[in-house]
Amino acid sequence: MRALIDALPEPVMLVARNGVVQAANQAAADLFGPHIQGARVRAYLRQPEVAAMLEGAFALIDDPGRPHAARMVITEPAAETTWQVTARALPPGAGFAGLVISLHDISHREAAEAQRRDFVANVSHELRSPLTVLTGFIETLQGAAARDEHARQEFLDIMAREAARMTGLVQDLLSLSRVEASERIRPRDPVAMDDVLRATIAALRPQIDGAGLALDLTLPDDLPSIPGDHDQLVQVFHNLLENAVKYGGAGGRIDISGRVLRACPGLEGPVLRVSVTDHGDGVDPIHIPRLTERFYRVDRARSRDQGGTGLGLAIVKHIINRHRGRLVIRSNPETGSTFEVLLPCTAPAPPHDPGSATPPSR
């Protein structure tokens, strides 16, 4: 029995009828400390829900096969973990009379569920406000404003804007899910970064000029191409440059510069660094770690006025992850913001072709 539970990766204890832990495997000792062996299990599993579950299991100890389960949260300074605790009595003749208590770490499952709930709540909330506006104006146009030509034009303009906002949200959600789905496969097409940047700037030229901004692009002549996905990289710089125009416009100037670094901590081989810098209002550094979260906006009202939903940087982060690169954000209200995109220059090893005789070199 001892050897058996030691071979299991998750915490398992054998607890005698009198509540004393007869054996605890290494994972259980890691979780509860070395003194768990020989201790009273009730002293360790004290949270009310787990304690009640244990009492039920001890009361039905002669009814083997019926599992009892409860959820337990362990709070440690570094992190909080959530466990599913299961107690089951062994059948007579199993070589041990008592309960087998096992713990299963469900922290990730719970976190994923919470994330999914938040996501659905956020999407519904974002879709609800334009829908409310649209429904309101449709009713007005059907009733009071039916014959008012001037009001009709004005309302139709607002309706078109709200519909465009919903389309934008749906497009962003689709591109986020597409990038997430392909994140494990690193793209390998050679991409010329000057093309990417020039295409991005050309597409955003009307907004840049409209905001009266000067744009300075500094690239070395010998910029290498990097392995990547052209369209996704355009999307990265489109989102970054659009943000610089929207939130950094007060600075009057945007600088984009590229450079090859011979090495960069945490990344393989030489790295292409492209920085997008504005000299606008910046953000308080406390917000920086959260900027790439979906739907996170520092100033909700301001971003919403500009038609933003807070998905732009989440998409940027996923695309850069897919390229095995890194995004570094520096910002403060005095100097403005710099978004640095770091992308490895060397191509990934070709995928293994099972038909070829020689294994791919690394």
Q: Contact residues for Mg ion (CB under 5 A)? A: 243, 312
| Minimum distance, C-beta of residue 158 to Mg ion, in the bound complex (Å) | 22
Q: Assess 323 for contact with ligand ATP (CB under 6 A).
A: no
Least Å distance, CB 134 to ligand ATP, is 20
Shorter beta-carbon distance to Mg ion: residue 96 or 296: 296
Q: Which partner in ligand ATP, Mg ion, none is near 89 (CB below 5 to 8 A by kind)?
A: none
Phi-psi domain of 237 (left: phi exceeds 0; alpha: psi -120 through 50; beta: other)? alpha
Terminal CA-to-CA distance of the chain, rounded, Å?
Answer: 44
**Spatial CA neighbour of 296 closest among 256, 231, 243:** 243
Record the tokens describing residue 204, joined without a space.
């955003």
Least Å distance, CB 179 to Mg ion, is 15
Distance, in Å, from the CA atom of 23 to the CA atom of 358, rounded to the nearest integer, reads 50
Which of residues 220 and 307 has its CB atom nearest to ligand ATP in the complex?
Answer: 307
CB of 240 to ligand ATP, least distance (A): 8
- How many residues form the binding site for ligand ATP (CB under 6 A)? 25
Largest CA distance in the chain: 89
Decide if residue 318 touches ligand ATP (CB under 6 A): no
Instruction: Confirm or reject binding of residue 173 to ligand ATP (CB under 6 A).
Output: no
Q: Which one of Mg ion, ligand ATP, none interacts with residue 32, CB within 5 to 8 A by kind?
A: none
For the stretch 221-253, what's the b/e string if a residue is b when 16 or more beta carbons lie within 10 angstroms of its beta carbon?
A: eebebbbbbbebbbbbbbbbbbbbbbbbbebeb
- By CB under 6 A, the residues from 224 to 283 that bind ligand ATP are 239, 243-244, 247-248, 278, 280-283
- Closer to Mg ion by CB, 226 or 311: give it: 311
Decide the pairing of beta strands 253-261 and 214-218. Answer: parallel
Per CB under 6 A, the segment of 100-108, 200-208, 252-260, 298-306 that binds ligand ATP is 298-306
Euclidean distance between CA atoms 172 and 315, whole angstroms: 8
Residue span binding ligand ATP (CB under 6 A) among the ranges 26-34, 48-56, 157-165, 306-314 = 306-314
Q: Are 272 and 223 in contact (CB under 8 A)?
A: yes
Instruction: Please give the Cα distance from 320 to 256 (Å, whole number).
Output: 17
Q: Give the binding site for ligand ATP (CB under 6 A).
A: 172, 239, 243-244, 247-248, 278, 280-283, 291, 296-299, 303, 308-314, 337
